């Protein structure tokens, strides 16, 4: 059986100038779970969305810079960080097409925020200003990205609970933004002690999960290995389903009908 192909939109620029890059921790976590990766950093205007989604069996939205505030109806603020509008638009378009195709979607850190915006939700632009608490969510100064920062409560009955088998666990924390108003149709799957939403999912879809922490940095913990394995397994199932549908469609296609359809289209265009 072919390995499932996971599409990852990457960051498209950095302090060193325009480039495409992806942290090795994402790559390792997905490859260890049995996936092949397709990394794209094409700007929104030049991306071939149909070709990208056609190749993909799953979509992963990784961490990165802030989501553009205007995309969720807010203005920039003094403590807003760097933005990457091209990446925002690329990911929002890929989300729409991935849902249409029915492939699994997994969002991490910035990814959960993009998923919430995609469904009509909003974000806290800076937690220290708009959601102050005793918890320090932005732990970028920690010596290790895998340092545990705080606990999260996993909501019983959610897919996240079923996959990980957890009720409460410690997670790392590398963000200064977070979910404010929850997107339409979403279910909260994890919360921090200060009430901040840290996990979301869409109950009607087989695998549509976002988490605010970075499980790719915590794969020494069996629970997060299970989460990546569940995502890749869902992508594998989506790939098998897609191949079966393609075979079925080819069995019932007719060259004569296709030719006639082409003639009808050409006739319409020449009227």
Mean pLDDT in the chain?
87
Domain that holds residue 111: 5-270
Query: Alpha carbon 165 to chain centroid distance?
Result: 22
Q: What is the pLDDT confidence band of residue 97, given thresholds at 50, 70 and 90?
A: very high
Name the active-site residue from 68, 198, 201, 216: 216
- Given a cut of 70, whether residue 260 has pLDDT beyond it is no
Q: What are phi and psi of 258, to 5 degrees?
A: -65, -40
Q: How many domains does the chain have?
A: 1
Establish whether 216 is a catalytic residue: yes
- Write the pLDDT tens digit of every residue in 212-256: 999 999 999 999 999 999 999 999 999 776 555 544 344 444 343
- Given a cut of 90, whether residue 149 has pLDDT beyond it is no
Mean pLDDT, rounded, for 27-36: 97
Q: What is the pLDDT confidence band of residue 13, given thresholds at 50, 70 and 90?
A: low
Q: Report pLDDT for 42.
A: 78
Mean pLDDT, rounded, for 4-19: 80
Of the candidates 209, 215, 122, the one whose C-alpha atom is nearest the C-alpha of residue 159 is 209
Percent of the chain's residues with pLDDT above 90? 68
Q: Report pLDDT for 256.
A: 39
- Write the pLDDT tens digit of every residue in 52-75: 999 999 999 999 999 999 999 999
- Given a cut of 60, whether residue 191 has pLDDT beyond it is yes
Q: Report pLDDT for 47.
A: 81
Name the active-site residue from 109, 176, 201, 217: 109
Q: Report pLDDT for 77.
A: 86
Which CATH number does the domain housing residue 255 bear?
A: 3.40.50.880
Q: What are phi and psi of 245, to 5 degrees?
A: -65, -40
């Amino acid at each position: 059986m072919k390995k499932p192909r996971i599409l990852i939109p990457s960051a498209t620029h950095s302090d060193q100038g325009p480039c495409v890059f992806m942290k090795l921790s994402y790559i390792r976590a997905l490859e260890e779970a049995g996936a092949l990766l397709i990394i794209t950093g094409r700007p929104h205007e030049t991306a071939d969305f149909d070709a990208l989604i056609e190749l993909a069996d799953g979509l992963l939205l990784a961490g990165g810079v802030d989501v553009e505030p205007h995309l969720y109806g807010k203005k920039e603020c003094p403590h807003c960080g760097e933005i990457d509008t091209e990446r925002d638009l690329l990911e929002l378009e890929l989300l729409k097409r991935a849902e249409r195709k029915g492939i699994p979607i997994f969002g991490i850190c910035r990814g959960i925020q993009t998923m919430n915006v995609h469904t009509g939700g909003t974000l806290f632009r800076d937690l220290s200003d708009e959601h102050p608490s005793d918890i320090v969510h932005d732990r970028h100064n920690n010596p290790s990205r895998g340092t545990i920062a705080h606990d999260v409560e996993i909501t019983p009955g959610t897919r996240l609970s079923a996959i990980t088998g957890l009720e409460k666990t410690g997670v790392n924390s590398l963000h200064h933004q977070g979910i404010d108003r929850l997107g339409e149709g979403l279910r909260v799957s994890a919360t921090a002690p200060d009430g901040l939403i840290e996990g979301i999912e869409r109950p009607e879809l087989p695998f549509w999960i976002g988490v605010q922490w970075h499980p790719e940095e915590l794969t020494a913990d069996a629970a997060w290995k299970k989460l990546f394995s569940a995502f890749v397994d869902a992508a594998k199932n989506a790939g098998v389903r897609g191949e079966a549908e393609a075979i079925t469609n080819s069995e019932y296609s007719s060259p004569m009908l296709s030719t006639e359809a082409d003639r009808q289209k050409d006739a319409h265009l020449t009227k």
